Structure formats: structure tokens, C-alpha cells
Amino acid sequence: MIYLDNAATTQIDSDVLDAMLPYLKGSFGNSQSQHAFGRTAADAVLNARDKIAKLLGCRSEELYFVSGGTEANNTALKGICLAKGSGHILVSAIEHPSMIESAKDMAAQGFEVTFINPDENGVITPQTVESAIKEDTIFCAVMAANNETGVIQPVKEIGEICRKHKVFYFADCVQYAATNQLSVDFCDGLSISAHKLYGPKGAGLLYIKSGNKFSRLISGGMQERGFRGGTVNVAAVAGLSAAVEKAVKNQADEAEKIRKVKEHFVNRVLKEIHDTHLNGGGKILPSHANISFDGCDGENVLFALDLKGIAVSTGSACSAGAVNPSHVLTAMGLSPQRVKSAVRFSFGKHNTLSEADEAVEALKNIVSKIRSI
Ligand code: PMP
């Protein structure tokens, strides 16, 4: 089996799992309890928060443990906007559905929402952001790197523009964090998800710079300082912290290794299979390659690769039994044929050059078969 879908999720590292197990077995206490069991759990959460704060360069009180990227994005957009009460929201058209749908929810509640389109490379330019800002703009979401194309966004410049106009700038860093050093300097809020970093599913992190008011989405006890009720998943927090720590420590070497394998794959595909196109331009994550195969349906390429034990994905989403074309590639202005024929290959630290070669050989066969039908 060859796993080339690391953007969807990654395999948990065994030492990350080891960091979680004590809180699933012996140290099972509730972090809110006022006895020794509770204190052990609370200490684990406190240590995780302090450790991650140090790595990201923020204060521990600015971090919230949540269930993943989806909850972090929902909480940021809805929480900040609801606290303001009214205003204009800017969201890039290539955001993850957790951000796009949150913006639509806010539009239904009377907020004005503008979706900003990328250029043909999949980049949201700082100029487009600046020209979309209005007098009453309160929130802007432009992700650090796109999950379908891997295109890295000019977040530093966008952050500066938002700061100048006093707009809260939120960067979804869920895909970016696996292969890039992260700090909170450039934004007012960000999200991370552990399962994209060889950590557990159902564990995420939300950073909100202090001084920014936001409404909680989950009411309950005083967990997460009252902003997110519900018994803390201590094992998940321990896993998230271990995964973030490992990612930061080994990032540069791993990113280089991943880039080499991915580039070898992409160069071979573009050279050896005619009429193929890399989607997205400028700076792209070391891990991602979104490629269109003229004359093929991306879904068919995916199914044929799956039969050969190779896992990839397409950007299309199934809803109500219908397959919707990728909103990301469509927003980039690619033709419907090019969008339909796109396949996402996402590499991780376990992939090897020989796996890349095997995938190329399989693709050559599959694409030529599909094209001959
Ligand atoms: N944002 C991006 C860019 C993502 O790729 C994903 C996961 N596909 C999410 C948010 C949602 O993260 P989670 O799966 O942890 O809810």
C-alpha cells in the first residue's frame, strides 16, 4: 500500500501515541477534579499549553484546546464576529469548508460577507485583500496554505494590511504547520490540527491574540477558561502537544526529504505523461501536488489507483449523492475540464522515492487506459 493522502490525515507516530496512553489508562482523571487524579490531568493540560505557547511564541492564555481545525475555524470566525455584533467579513474563496460554511452561517445572521477570489496561481494577493476591506470590516480569513493545491499564501503581507486597517486577521495553518515553522507574529488568530502532524484525530488548537473579545460556541463548565465547555480530552491534548513539539524539532529535515520525493514524482509525471498540468503556482508546500490529467476524470484515476493500493484524493466533495467540483480550482478560474480531471497527491515523511516511482508507473498505465476508452 502506498499512502499519498497525507493532506487528508497522517499516521500517528508511535511516540505520540505513547505520550497519550498514560491518560487513557492509569491517569484517567478529570482535569477539573480537585483531587490527585484531577491534578495529574490538569498538570498534563497545563504543561501542554505552556510547551506549545513557547514554541509558537505566544502566551499560554491565548491558546484554546479544541476538537480540531473545524472547531477552531468555526470558533474564531463566529466567536469574533458575534462578539462584535455586526460588520463586514472577508473570507478567501479557497478556504476550507469549515471557514466558508461558517461565513455563510454568519451571512444568514445578517453579517455582510465578501469572498475573495485567488489569482490563476491560487494566490490571494495582498492587493485584493486591501481593496476588499471596507470601513466596517471586522474579520479576514486567508489560510496560510491551501489544502487542495498546497499554494502558500502571502500571510505576512496580508497580516500587515489587516493590522493597518484594524481588521482581525485569522490564518488557518492546518496544512501549513506540518512542513513550516510556525509562530503567531503575523496574525491575530490561527488554527492547527493534530492529525495532520502525525498526531491524533479530534485534537486541535486555536490561538486568539489577547485583547480580542470572542463569544464562546460551547457553553458549559469552566474548561478552557469558560470559552469551551466540556470535559477536556487530556490524552488528545497530550498527543497534540507531542505532535507539535516533534513537528517543530524535525521540520526542516523532514520538509526537505518530502520535497525531494514530491518533486521527483511531479517531474516524472509532467515529463512522462503528456497533457498533464500542475495546478497552482508560486510557492507550494513541499508535500502537495495537484495535477490535472487531460481526458480523464479525477475520480476514475483515484479509483484505479486505489485498486492498485495507492491512496490519493480529489478536491471534489460529495454532497447529497452529487459530486461537486472543487471550489478551490474553480475559484482559480480553471476550466471545468481541468477541474474535473484533477487529482491531489500529498506526500508525508514516510514516503520514499521508490513509492513515488511506483505511483508514476501506475499512473502512466491508468491514464493511458482511461484516455483510450
Ligand atoms: N482547515 C484545513 C486547511 C484542512 O485541511 C482541514 C482538514 N482537512 C481542516 C481545516 C479541518 O481540520 P479537522 O479535520 O481537524 O477538523
Our answer on whether the CB atom of 143 is closer than 6 Å to any ligand 1 atom is yes
* DSSP label of 94: T
All cell numbers assigned to 184: 503567531
Q: What is the pLDDT of residue 175?
A: 97
All cell numbers assigned to 292: 490535472
Phi, then psi, of 192 in degrees rounded to 5? -135, 150
Our answer on whether the CB atom of 314 is closer than 6 Å to any ligand 1 atom is no
Ligand 1: centre distance to CA 95 (Å): 10
Q: What is the pLDDT of residue 315?
A: 75
Give the number of C-alpha atoms closer than 13 A to the C-alpha of residue 4, restricted to the C-beta side: 32
Our answer on whether the CB atom of 94 is closer than 6 Å to any ligand 1 atom is no
DSSP string across 163-218: HHTT-EEEEE-TTGGGTS---STT-SEEEEEGGGTTS-TT-EEEEE-TT-----SB
Give the span between the Cα atoms of 102 and 78, in whole angstroms. Answer: 7
Ligand 1: centre distance to CA 68 (Å): 7
Ligand 1: centre distance to CA 310 (Å): 22
Ligand 1, residue 69: give the atom nearest the CA: 12
| Protein residue with least CA distance to atom 12, ligand 1 | 69
DSSP string across 315-352: S-EEETTEEEPPHHHHHTT--HHHHHTEEEEE--TT--
Contact indicator for 167, 138 with CB cutoff of 8 Å: yes
How many degrees, rounded to 5, is the angle at CA 176 between CA 269 and CA 261? 30
Taking all residues of the chain, what is their mean pLDDT, rounded to a whole number? Answer: 96
Ligand 1: centre distance to CA 50 (Å): 24
Our answer on whether the CB atom of 172 is closer than 6 Å to any ligand 1 atom is yes
* Weakly modelled stretches of the chain, pLDDT under 50: none
Amino acid at 67: S
Q: At what angle do helices 36-56 and 234-272 cross, to 10 degrees?
A: 40
Q: How does pLDDT run across 192-242, given as a tens digit for each residue?
A: 999 999 999 999 999 999 999 999 999 999 999 999 999 999 999 999 999
User: Of the candidates 286, 223, 230, 218, which has an alpha carbon nearest to the alpha carbon of residue 74?
Assistant: 218
> What are the residues whose beta carbons fall under 8 Å from the beta carbon of 283, sequence distance 6 or more?
151, 152
Block residue for cell numbers 454568519: 106
Q: What is the pLDDT of residue 324?
A: 87
Ligand 1, residue 7: give the atom nearest the CA: 5
Q: How does pLDDT run across 293-321, given as a tens digit for each residue?
A: 999 999 999 999 999 999 999 976 665 56
Catalytic, 318? Answer yes
Q: At what angle do helices 97-108 and 69-84 cross, to 10 degrees?
A: 30
Q: What is the pLDDT of residue 274?
A: 98
Ligand 1, residue 203: give the atom nearest the CA: 15
Give the span between the Cα atoms of 163 and 165, in whole angstroms. Answer: 5
Block residue for cell numbers 526537505: 256
User: Of the candidates 370, 373, 367, which has an alpha carbon nearest to the alpha carbon of residue 272?
Assistant: 367
Ligand 1: centre distance to CA 272 (Å): 33
Our answer on whether the CB atom of 280 is closer than 6 Å to any ligand 1 atom is no
Ligand 1, residue 194: give the atom nearest the CA: 15
Contact indicator for 255, 308 with CB cutoff of 8 Å: no
Give the span between the Cα atoms of 84 and 236, in whole angstroms. Answer: 32
Our answer on whether the CB atom of 315 is closer than 6 Å to any ligand 1 atom is no
Our answer on whether the CB atom of 95 is closer than 6 Å to any ligand 1 atom is no
Ligand 1: centre distance to CA 181 (Å): 18
Block residue for cell numbers 477552531: 72
Q: What is the pLDDT of residue 319?
A: 58
All cell numbers assigned to 303: 479509483
